[in-house]
Each structure stands twice: as C-alpha cells, then as structure tokens.
Amino acid sequence: MKLVDHLNHGLRKVPVWLVYTLGAALPFWYLYLGLTGGLGVEPIKALEHELGELGLQTLILGLAVTPLRAITGVNLIRLRRVIGVLTFFYVAAHLLVWLVLDVQILSEIWKDILKRPYITVGMAAFILMTPLAITSNNWSIRKLGPRWGKLHKLVYPTAALGGIHYIMVGKTWEAESLLYMAVILVLLGWRVNDSRKKQRSRAIHQRNSARPA
C-alpha cells in the first residue's frame, strides 16, 4: 500500500463526532486561557484574534479538501462537513466576542458595521456563511438537489472576504494576513484553472462523440 492509501485508511477511521467535539471545545479552551491569564494582559483582543484566525484556518482547510484530493489523493471529503460547520462556529464565536466583550455598546455596534469597512466586509462574510451552515445536513442536500452545490459555492466569496477582512484589521500591511490571503487566492485560483480544464475536456469529449462512427 502506498503512503496515501495508509493515510486515507487512517482518515476513514477518524470518528466524525470526535472531530466535532474536539473542534467545538477549542473556543472554550481559549476562553479558559483568557480567564486565567493565558492570553496575556489584554485577553479580549487576543481571544477575538485567536477565534478569527481559527475560523480562517478551518475555512482554508475546507477549501483545500478538493485540490488536496486531486493533487495528492489524500481524501478528506468525509470530514468536509465537520470542517465547514466548525468554521461557522469559530466565526460566530469571533463575532460574539467582538459584540459582547470588545465593542460592548449596542449603538456603537451598528455604527461600526456601517462605518468601518473591515467590519462591513467581515459581517458580509458571516452572512454569506450562514445559509451554508444551515444547509449542512443530508436533508438539505436531498431537498435542494443540484442547487445545493451551487449554494455552497458561496464559500468562495466568503473566503475572499475573510482574507480581506484580516488584511484590513491590521495597523499596516502585515505579513501574516497577506500570507493567509495568498493561500486563499491560490486555492480559489486552482478551482478557476480546474474548471477551465474540465470545460475544455468536456468540449473535446462532445466533439469526439458528435463525430459519426
């Protein structure tokens, strides 16, 4: 057996409920750290930052599933839903920390959403993710049919907006957020390229099959 097969064999054995449990526990772990001094002397921003970054990381991981399988053969498709749902959970927690612990003042929250472009962008990303989280179940897939796939393409603009949001939060152009954006762009770019290739091969296939035998 090849290494990839070993890896895939192992991945098939990972219980999905365990990934849900451990993944969902992470924000509570950070909350605990924040309460006990583990996030430094300014735990509010630190917690907000950790959760936001976690959301971006899982978002990137979710986007990487398809290219990873196409390029290396490693198959994470069974875990794609849990990755997506956790992403939403992290981003929602990030938003909640911003609302409750950071801004605190209700009138300021609305003003910030409208007046601060980086918050507008972040909120837009969150809104785009919401229907994806709601429809992350078998019932919705059956119910929506082919429209489900189309709907879930919303993850692409979500990722781009998330990356832009991170860049805009920085006081200046910061290497870390630029790196995240670069990875997101590579993953989105791969899809553009891939769908072009598929279109081309479909066109060739059609031409060939249209030829009289």
Partner 1 sequence: MAYKNVLKYSDVTPKADYMNRRQLMGGAAGLFAGMAMGPALGASKYSTDATPNTFEEISSYNNFYEFGTGKDDPARHAHQLTIDPWSVQIDGMVDKPGSYGLEDILKKVSQEERIYRFRCVEAWSMVIPWYGFELNQLLDMAGVQPGAKYVAFETLVRKEEMPGIRTVNVDWPYREGLRLDEAMHPLTIMATGIYDKPMPKQNGAPLRLVVPWKYGFKSIKSIVRVTLTDKQPLTTWNMLQPREYGFYSNVNPEVSHPRWSQATERTIGGGLFAKRKETLMFNGYEEEVAGLYSGMDLAKNF
Asked if residue 42 binds partner 1 (CB under 8 A), the reply is yes
> How far apart are CB 161 and partner 1 at their closest, in Å?
16
DSSP annotation of 75 reads: -
Q: How far apart are CA 188 and CA 172, in angstroms?
A: 25
Cα dihedral 145, 74, 68, 177 in deg (nearest 10): 110
Asked if residue 41 binds partner 1 (CB under 8 A), the reply is yes
What is the number of other CB atoms lying within 10 angstroms of the CB of residue 170? 13
> How far apart are CB 73 and partner 1 at their closest, in Å?
36
105, 106, 210, 213: residue in contact with partner 1 (rule CB under 8 A): 105
Nearest to 94 by CA among 60, 54, 64, 58: 54
> How far apart are CB 189 and partner 1 at their closest, in Å?
24
SS3 content of the chain, % helix, strand, coil (to 5): 85, 0, 15
Asked if residue 101 binds partner 1 (CB under 8 A), the reply is yes
Q: How far apart are CA 100 and CA 129, in angstroms?
A: 21
1, 12, 145, 173: residue in contact with partner 1 (rule CB under 8 A): 173
Residue 77's Cβ-side half-sphere holds a number of Cα atoms within 13 Å equal to 7
18, 22, 28, 40: residue in contact with partner 1 (rule CB under 8 A): 40
73: left (phi over 0), alpha (psi -120 to 50) or beta: left
Q: Mask 128-167, x = binds partner 1 (CB under 8 A)?
A: ----------------------------------------
CB 83 within 8 A of CB 152: no
118, 148, 156, 190: residue in contact with partner 1 (rule CB under 8 A): 118
Closest CB to partner 1 among residues 48, 155:
48
Closest CB to partner 1 among residues 101, 188:
101
Which range touches partner 1 (CB under 8 A), out of 9-17, 69-77, 108-116, 202-210? 108-116
Residues that bind partner 1 (CB under 8 A): 31, 34-35, 40-45, 47, 101-105, 108, 111-112, 115-118, 168, 171-175
